[in-house]
Structure 1
Amino acid sequence: MSYILVLYYSRYGSVKQMAQHVARGIESMNIETKIRTVPPVSPTTEASEPAVPDSGAPYVTIDDLKNCAGLALGSPTRFGNMAAPLKYFIDQTSSLWVGNNLVNKPATVFSSTASLHGGQETTLISMMLPLFHLGFILLGVPYSENELNTTHTGGTPYGTTHVAGPNSKNPISEDEQHLCYAQGKRLAEITLRMIKN
């Protein structure tokens, strides 16, 4: 059965909440959603995380990515880039690149930052670059979503964003929730069209 993979890394919970709103949008189109995360990275060379997380979403596998019909990718900002744990996973996907396993599958990206000018758009672009190399077709958030024009918190045409605040305590605004939902729904709509063709 076809599914859309919602893959994220979240240290303080904001990106996890965004992923859940994106997944709701996907599921509104009656397509299965798999929500997955990645383990934190460690400076040691030995495995420091269990194979299965104690709580929350399961860790992603290469097969989860290989077999998805579409992808929603989320990360907090780290100096204008995606977080290292997510990049570490993506760097292990060379076999999917060589095998052209992800060519012409739709994808979208979303992010959270501590401040309004904390690198939201560059983080989204940093997530897009490897997806282009893997052959994905990237989808953003169109300005037909009115909340993109009215939000005072987060949101860009490149993908939904959230301003978590310096202590990561800001709740996801109604505008951000709507944009996450709309982004997931759009991804599902395009994925379903591509599956039918």
Structure 2
Amino acid sequence: MNPNPLKILVLFYSQHGSTLNLARQIARGIESVPGCEAVLRTVPKVSAVCEAVESSVPEQGAPYAEADDLKHCAALALGSPTRFGNMAAAMKYFIDGTIPQWLGAELSGKPATVFTSSSSLHGGQESTLLSMMLPLLHHGMIISGIPFSESALGHTQSGGTPYGASHVAGHEGRAALTDEENELAFAQGKRLAELAVKLAA
């Protein structure tokens, strides 16, 4: 076991479990690469009410992300549900607060990837993934997607895009991933970790 593994941050926001399940599968892909450790972190809900009453520690699940998580990660996987073709407000709020990390170039040169979920098949997944890439490009990160050499990308009937892993929950809110969605999320995490290892070398 590597005493100093590369820590790869899987930072997500999830309300109903779909994006969380993608994050977990991406983490499995990351940890399939020797010398890499996935660090799951989330962000709190955001509103005038939430900011007044939200606990500083989540009641369950992944801890909230802190500045040091960004500073010390070797790579970043960023995930959010789709909200009108964009990331959720909670994730946008967190990202908007990373000006100190931007000024310090703390993420510059590190690989990154993005993932999302939506309730409908044409619910804005690709525009969400593309919009999530924009602040990462401003941070100087190296964006990684999913190549078509991953066969599941060519025959998925649900989620999965070359821009990043995705999940279609349907209007009944299915959080469980399909076989293809699982396969693509795992491949995306593995690819991110492999890039982090190469860059670290």
Question: Normalising by structure 2, what TM-score?
Answer: 0.95
Give the secondary structure class of the aligned counterpart of 1:153: coil
User: 2:22: which partner in 1?
Assistant: 18
- TM-superposed deviation, 1:44: 3.6
Cα distance in 1 for partners of 2:48, 2:166 equals 29
The 8 Å contact of residues 21 and 177 in structure 1, kept in 2 or not, is answered as yes
Cα distance in 2 for partners of 1:99, 1:165 equals 41
Give the count of matched residue pairs: 196
Deviates more, 1:53-62 or 1:160-169: 160-169
Give the secondary structure class of the aligned counterpart of 1:108: strand
Cα distance in 1 for partners of 2:188, 2:97 equals 26
Cα distance in 2 for partners of 1:45, 1:154 equals 31
- TM-superposed deviation, 1:162: 0.6
Aligned match for 1:108, one of 106, 113, 133? 113
The 8 Å contact of residues 8 and 38 in structure 1, kept in 2 or not, is answered as yes
- TM-superposed deviation, 1:107: 0.2
Cα distance in 2 for partners of 1:41, 1:61 equals 16
Letter in 1 for 2:185: C
Cα distance in 1 for partners of 2:9, 2:51 equals 28
Give the secondary structure class of the aligned counterpart of 1:6: strand
Cα distance change, pair 54–149 in 1 and its aligned pair in 2 (3 A):
same
1:1-197 aligned at under 5 Å gives the runs: 1=4, 2-30=6-34, 31-44=36-49, 46-169=51-174, 171-196=176-201
Ranges in structure 2 where 5+ consecutive residues have no aligned partner: none
Give the secondary structure class of the aligned counterpart of 1:55: coil
The 8 Å contact of residues 9 and 75 in structure 2, kept in 1 or not, is answered as yes
Cα distance in 2 for partners of 1:145, 1:154 equals 14
- TM-superposed deviation, 1:46: 4.5
Give the secondary structure class of the aligned counterpart of 1:192: helix
Give the secondary structure class of the aligned counterpart of 2:53: coil
- TM-superposed deviation, 1:169: 1.9
Output one character per residue of 1:63-96: Cα deviation in whole Å (capped at 9) or x when no partner: 1011110000110000000001011110010011
The 8 Å contact of residues 4 and 34 in structure 1, kept in 2 or not, is answered as yes
The 8 Å contact of residues 42 and 48 in structure 1, kept in 2 or not, is answered as no
Cα distance in 2 for partners of 1:27, 1:63 equals 21
Runs of 4+ in structure 1 deviating by more than 3 angstroms, as ranges, are none
Cα distance change, pair 99–81 in 1 and its aligned pair in 2 (3 A):
same
